[in-house]
Amino acid sequence: MNQTSTAKVHEKVIFAFSGQGAAGPLPLNFLMRELPVFCQYTCRADDFLKERSYGGLIQLLCSGKISSTLEGQLFSFVFATAMSQQFLSMGINPDAAVGHSVGEAAACVLSGLFDYEDTLRYLCERSQIMEKYVSQGVMLFAEVTEAEALLIIEGCPSLAIAAVNGPQTTVISGALNEILRVEKTLDKKGTKHKRLRVPGAAHSPLLDPAMAQINKITPPKILKDAEIPVYSSLSGEEISDAQIAEPRWWGRHCRDTVRFMEALGNIKKRYPQNKLTFVEFGVHRVLASGGLETLKGSKWLGACSMPCYIPNKSPEDCFAYGIEETLSTLRGSINRFSQSTP
């Protein structure tokens, strides 16, 4: 493969890292055989986790079946980090990065701020605490503005605005009984809504009793200055060393609202004259709808995903084609992974 990035001069390439909810089954043997850097980072995570008595990473990545907060965060973080490092090795160098919820940790590793294994350590410790408090809750997407969502959840003390991904792409999180009340309200209004495929209600008041414990966890050590700017979906702005060195920052990171729309707006302010091309590192493009709604005219690619699987093609062929499609768009040329791709 051509190792030189040929992204068009007037375009800025932004790596976007999704949170939980972007998981799905992977043709892992194929990916690890064809993508050496992806393989290296996956094996490093597997070795690290086995030393800490978690031996299920490979099975988790193959199945894509998420049953706990720990599994959801491990899948998102390991896959996104391994695939983004593979893209770097192939000469796709982003101008900036943005992370959605746990995706911010992957963005910090990409930028050189954090060590990979140390970040895994932190996420494992935090996830195990979170699990005790959020497992009985759910998260709900609603096609409403943040202001409308706040009115809808009035009188529901367990609920909060978990994420604002676009002008009308809002996520509500909290206890199931109160989410059921919100669903009935949305149904009466004829408003589109859907529960997210995540194992628990992060970014909600259900986590309040856990915050003292979470804030005691030592965050990943900062290795060096960021090689590329990283935009936080907690503040909506470019992150600073002082922020990410603070344990309470990463506590707020799993409790407070994800300000993804605001982060996208500030990226656009940084590059007002440039066309923005986002590459989302998740099995599915879960951020694209909010991203395109927020930044009209931007381009949103999946690192390895497509709108749908190709009929009569194997998962290996579908993933290969998805990766090639993204690479060819970024480079302006076709580079085949497999002779059997469509």
Residue with tokens 């096609």: 143
Residue in 201, 183, 97 with CA at minimum distance from that of residue 142: 183
| Predicted pLDDT at 101 | 95
| Predicted pLDDT at 342 | 37
- Per-residue pLDDT band for 315 (boundaries 50, 70, 90) equals confident
* Structure tokens, 143: 């096609």
| Predicted pLDDT at 305 | 67
Rounded Cα distance, 330 and 91, in Å: 10
pLDDT digits (tens, 9 = 90+) for 322-332: 899 899 899 87
Contact predicate 113/24, CB 8 Å: no
Give the total residue count for the chain: 342
Domains in the chain and their CATH numbers? 11-133+209-331 (3.40.366.10), 137-199 (3.30.70.250)
Contact predicate 312/301, CB 8 Å: no
Residue in 149, 176, 145 with CA at minimum distance from that of residue 160: 149
Rounded Cα distance, 234 and 249, in Å: 9
| Predicted pLDDT at 306 | 56
Q: Between 196 and 2, where is the model more confident?
A: 196
| Predicted pLDDT at 308 | 54
